[in-house]
Amino acid sequence: MPAASPFQVAWDGEQRKVLEELARSRTAPLRRVQRARAALACADGGANAAIANALGVHVDTVRRWRKRFAADGLAALEDRPGRSRRYGPDVHLAIVATVTSARPGTNSHWTRRAIA
């Protein structure tokens, strides 16, 4: 028998209502809907493997979500920022201006080296 998770998730009446509404949504982003379904299943005492199987995600993903739900509550449903941009918007603007205003020379298309 698998060990119970040390991260227990519980929702009050209003939070559960929000999660149930989001879990039934057909217009919300799939990631948020899956997280809401996982949050409800975690609160109902579901095992990580069973939740992962039902949602079609990896069990480690459910473990990570459960930990976030226990720590952050409903804020855990939101996407987290990824890696920061390497170059600022001014560099991107310069690249777009170069590529759209000048021809690549004798080549038929732009390459990364030619743009650099």
CA distance 30 to 88: 30
pLDDT recorded at residue 58: 94
pLDDT recorded at residue 54: 93
Contact criterion met (CB below 8 Å) for 48 and 5: yes
pLDDT recorded at residue 81: 77
DSSP string computed for 47-67: -HHHHHHHHTS-HHHHHHHHH
HEC per residue, 15-41: HHHHHHHHHHCCCCCHHHHHHHHHHHH
Count of CB atoms within 10 A of residue 46's CB? 18
- Predicted structure pTM score: 0.65
CA distance 67 to 35: 12
CA 22 centroid distance within chain: 15
CA distance 19 to 53: 20
pLDDT digits (tens, 9 = 90+) for 54-72: 999 999 999 998 888 888 8
pLDDT recorded at residue 1: 43
Task: Name residues of the chain where pLDDT drops below 50.
Answer: 1
pLDDT recorded at residue 50: 92
